[in-house]
Structure 1
Amino acid sequence: MAMIHSNTSHLPHTFFLAGIPGLTAAHLWISLPFGFLFLLSLIGNAVLLLLISTERRLHQPMFLFLAMLSFVDLVLSLSTLPKMLGIFWFGATAISSHSCLFQMFVIHAFSAMESGVLVAMALDRFVAICNPLHYATILTPGAVIKIGGLVVLRGVGLTIFFPSLANRLSYCGSHTIPYTYCEHMAVVKLACGETTVDSLYAFAVAIFLGVGDVAFIAYSYGQIVKTVMCSSPEARTKAGRTCTAHVCVILFFYGPGFLSVIMQRFGPPTASAARVILANLYLLFPPALDPIVYGVKTKQIRECLFTVLSHKRIEPP
């Protein structure tokens, strides 16, 4: 807790999460789809983690990266949805300042990790399609572990300063955060001092993660397209099947994320209902929909799930 404690801090004892501005009367109804997405996230990601950990056929780099994605999605859901539902159901808007800063760190760190995992999955597809003969020698178990470690270190290293930066500010005005969770810039905007450093650092991290990671993913898929265009129709079909799920997950994650950042930076100073809902979808959609996409689009996962449900063993081909 050292990173969020300071003798010179002017943090209030408590912040208040407003929920969705202008839609307070509809919070109960809004909670229904949010709660449904929460259940989908918990069940879907838990099932994926169980399948990948118990089925030896899934102990491959592609599915190990998917297990990392499922774990990150579970943490993001558990760090945000229970408090959101508490606001919607019971009006439990209060959150201690240290809990708020800790939630801020977890949300941003694991969001950065999710972006890193998507990059790792793009690398996996690039090697599998563009250099299949060396796939096993490039993406060894040791290499997968090192990539996973780098994803974690990068996510923590880039976002660990968010709570410290917010902690050093003075909060002499409103203590109400116009969101359902402690988003970094939403908290910083409540400060009454100079916040240029916070704003520039947050923007730099967003650009580094968003533009840098998307550029790498785009390059990987550019090479994949170039390779499959010179292949047989059967190879193109197989490549399309193996990449479709990953492309869908990328759109679920980066689409709302980019829109949320743009609205945060260039929208009106007061948070609108649309901006808050979009920020929530950025955290809700990927954890809930990723397991469904991979379950529907990935033959091996479907077969393993059928094996578990039918209590029969499917022999590998």
Structure 2
Amino acid sequence: MRTIAVLTSGGDAPGMNAAIRAVVRTGLDKDLEVMGIQRGYSGLLNGEIFRMDRRSVADIIQRGGTMLRTARCEEFKTEAGRKKAYNILKTFRVDGLVVIGGDGSFRGAQLLSKLGIATIGLPGTIDNDLPYTDYTIGFDTAINTVLDAINKLRDTSTSHERVSVIEVMGRNCGDIALYSGLAGGAESIIVPEKGYDQNTLCRTILEGKMRGKMHNLIVLAEGIGGAEELAKKIEEITGMEARATKLGHIQRGGSPTCMDRILASRMGYKAVELLSQGKSSRVVGINGGKIVDMDIDEALAVPRKFNVELYKVANVLSY
């Protein structure tokens, strides 16, 4: 192992820069040449590869997004595209590749490893939808961004005595809604894993009104959305004013939290350690506070388990 490269792929997540920084500086510490690949697999196919040094990653640990940029790439999904990627990596004498991204990015790394490139995946996604790891890079920052929005919306919702429906990201995973909803004291948390009944929800709102509760805050995961339709239905049934807020891509931005910076740094360090040991087709995660690694195939096959206990706590405390 003489030369390694790093790329970010898929949706950006706060903490990706901290992971890039860790990969680069750990690699240099092990006397490896480190290359950066811009715009993910798309940039790889276009040969957007450059040498990185310590100064390349200075002053980025606190920055959101990814300094390497990211993009989707349909061509890489083809066998011809992957062979082209392999040949380009070999042209730059890259022996090992660190891929920072979600499940789609991991599948790309998995396929490259079968062609002979040593690959290690780091979980970079705000969705927290990779079940082999307790947390993904960017998740903590995202839920804190949502929490800040919840706090602000609660103020105006209380002032106007209205129902606020907040739609958050997460694809088909309800973790952003669950964690931010619990921390924000939401009256209702709606996630794809549990579903909901509109009549039961409206009845809960009306029962609260009878007790003197004049505002409600509902956190809705996008996988079961949308917020506009739900707000209209609530207003129609309950007679209470209801407003919808879709937070959108604001959840992907911002300076990463302390937790995300440390998590990304530990994972980036571990990735280079694995490459230097001759390991390939592995992904890095965290379980019970310990940094672990697992075969990519096994990691992608782990069934996702919703945190039912946390959901129960949130329901009990919402009344």
TM-score by length of 2: 0.21
Higher strand share: 2
Q: Which has the higher contact order (CA 8 A, sep 6+)?
A: 1
Instruction: Give the alignment's TM-score, normalised by structure 1.
Output: 0.21
